[in-house]
């Protein structure tokens, strides 16, 4: 055999047969090699979550200079504020085709979209929109909660997984966590569509959509969403959703049993202990906070 030094490699890739190998190296060699390869072939490495890995990458690394220069057409349109987006978020400006903005847990974010239209993102929320065609089609995909202030122009549409909101020029807050969609209108008017139901909200009105079912309009007295004054307020909402909001605001994990209880009330975003007390006390629940203040156990 001329290629003695690659013999086993060739056997493994099927370029020589078992019989050939046996005649060259003997029965034992074959048995031992098979034992080794069969064992190693049954092993695996952990599956790497590439999409989470990519998000991590985006959060950690700035875009290369070439990326930012690409925005020139955008700046020409008079929207220099887009550069602020990079500064605020530290996310590579990867615009093709959609702009994705994300507010990390524990920090609200403000973004000027264009010509005075602005969006404030609550913790853990994401908006995605097509920056290129923005002037003609002001459409935003929202996951989470955000306050919008919209200047007059082409129709402004916010799509969420539970329904969409269409406006002409106004100020309104959209909360779209889980299966819930809650819209408050502070100025102008908005049209909310969910599950083929439509409703028009005037200033100081709100509507709640739970599991595809739209409630009656309710008046509101606040002129801005509560989360903007660092408070989360709930009206007859699932306890599950309340704890999720707490997790986002304080960037903690809450270990709790599944529950179908409901909660009305509010908590502030300054002090974790106070916030937990505001939720747990009325419901007769007990809680403990871990030493590093990252994990909360609910009894």
Partner 1 sequence: MPQSVCEEEVFRSVFSTHAEPLINFMYYRTGDYAASEDLMQDAFAKLWKECAKVALEKSKSFLFTVANNSFLNNVKHQKVVLKFEQLGHSQISNETPQFLLEEAEFKLQLETAIASLPEGQRVVFLMSRIDKMTYKEIAENLELSVKAIEKRMHKALTTLRKTAEKL
Region 8-47 residues binding partner 1, contact defined as CB under 8 A = 8-10, 12-13, 28-29, 32-33, 35-47
Among 1, 6, 75, 295, binds partner 1 (CB under 8 A): 6
Q: Which stretch binds partner 1 (CB under 8 A): 48-56, 146-154, 159-167, 205-213?
A: 48-56
Q: How far is the CB of 51 from partner 1 (least distance, A)?
A: 8
Strand, coil or helix: what is 192? strand
Q: Which stretch binds partner 1 (CB under 8 A): 55-63, 206-214, 222-230, 289-297?
A: 55-63
CB 231 within 8 A of CB 267: yes
According to the binding rule CB under 8 A, does residue 56 interact with partner 1?
A: yes
Rounded distance, CA 175 to CA 210, Å?
Answer: 12
Q: How far is the CB of 292 from partner 1 (least distance, A)?
A: 19
Q: How far is the CB of 16 from partner 1 (least distance, A)?
A: 12
According to the binding rule CB under 8 A, does residue 48 interact with partner 1?
A: yes
In the complex with partner 1, which residue's Cβ is closer, 5 or 216?
A: 5
Rounded distance, CA 157 to CA 163, Å?
Answer: 11
Among 60, 152, 179, 286, binds partner 1 (CB under 8 A): 60
DSSP state, 284? T
In the complex with partner 1, which residue's Cβ is closer, 39 or 87?
A: 39
Q: Which stretch binds partner 1 (CB under 8 A): 1-9, 157-165, 236-244, 272-280?
A: 1-9
Among 1, 84, 94, 200, binds partner 1 (CB under 8 A): 94
Report the Cα 84 to chain-centroid distance in Å: 21
According to the binding rule CB under 8 A, does residue 200 interact with partner 1?
A: no
- Token digits for 140? 């935003």
Kindly provide the b/e burial profile for residues 35-45, where b requires at least 16 CB atoms within 10 angstroms of the residue's own CB.
Answer: eeeeeeeeeee
Strand, coil or helix: what is 214? strand
In the complex with partner 1, which residue's Cβ is closer, 17 or 264?
A: 17
Tell me the sheet residues that pair with 255: 297
DSSP state, 252? -
DSSP-derived secondary structure for 103-150: PPTT--EEEEEETTEEEEEPTT-EEEE-STTTTT-EEEEEEEEEEEE-
CA dihedral 19, 20, 26, 32 (to 10 degrees): -70
Q: Which stretch binds partner 1 (CB under 8 A): 4-12, 139-147, 150-158, 243-251?
A: 4-12
Q: Which residues contact 147 (CB under 8 A, 6 or more apart)?
A: 119, 120, 122, 171, 172, 173, 224, 225, 228
Residues lying near partner 1 in the complex (CB under 8 A): 3, 5-10, 12-13, 28-29, 32-33, 35-48, 50-51, 53-54, 56-57, 60-61, 63-64, 66-67, 92, 94-96
């Amino acid at each position: 055999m001329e290629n003695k030094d690659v013999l086993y490699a060739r056997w493994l890739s099927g370029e020589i047969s078992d019989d050939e190998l046996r005649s060259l190296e003997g029965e034992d060699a074959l048995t031992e090699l098979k034992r080794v390869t069969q064992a190693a072939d049954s092993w695996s490495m952990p599956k790497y979550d590439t999409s989470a890995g990519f998000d991590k990458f985006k959060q950690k690394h700035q875009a290369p200079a070439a990326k930012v220069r690409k925005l020139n057409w955008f700046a020409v349109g008079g929207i220099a504020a887009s550069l602020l987006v990079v500064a605020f978020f530290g996310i590579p400006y990867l615009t093709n085709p959609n702009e994705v903005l994300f507010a990390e847990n524990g920090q609200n974010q403000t973004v000027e979209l264009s010509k005075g239209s602005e969006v404030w993102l609550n913790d853990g929320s994401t908006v995605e929109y097509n920056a290129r065609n923005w002037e003609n089609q002001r459409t935003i995909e929202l996951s989470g909660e955000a306050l919008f202030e919209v200047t007059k122009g082409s129709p402004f549409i916010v799509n969420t997984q539970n329904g969409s909101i269409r406006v002409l020029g106004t100020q309104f807050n959209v909360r779209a966590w889980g299966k819930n969609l809650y819209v408050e209108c502070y100025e102008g008017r908005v049209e909310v569509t969910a599950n083929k139901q439509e409703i028009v909200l005037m200033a100081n009105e709100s509507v709640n959509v739970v599991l595809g079912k739209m409630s009656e309009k309710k008046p509101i007295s606040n002129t801005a969403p509560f989360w903007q004054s660092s408070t989360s307020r709930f009206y007859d909402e699932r306890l599950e959703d309340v704890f999720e909001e707490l997790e986002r605001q304080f960037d903690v994990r809450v270990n709790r049993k599944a529950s179908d209880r409901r909660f009305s009330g509010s908590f502030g975003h300054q002090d974790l202990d106070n916030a937990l007390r505001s939720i747990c006390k009325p419901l007769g629940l007990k809680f403990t906070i871990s030493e590093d203040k990252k994990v909360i156990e609910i009894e």
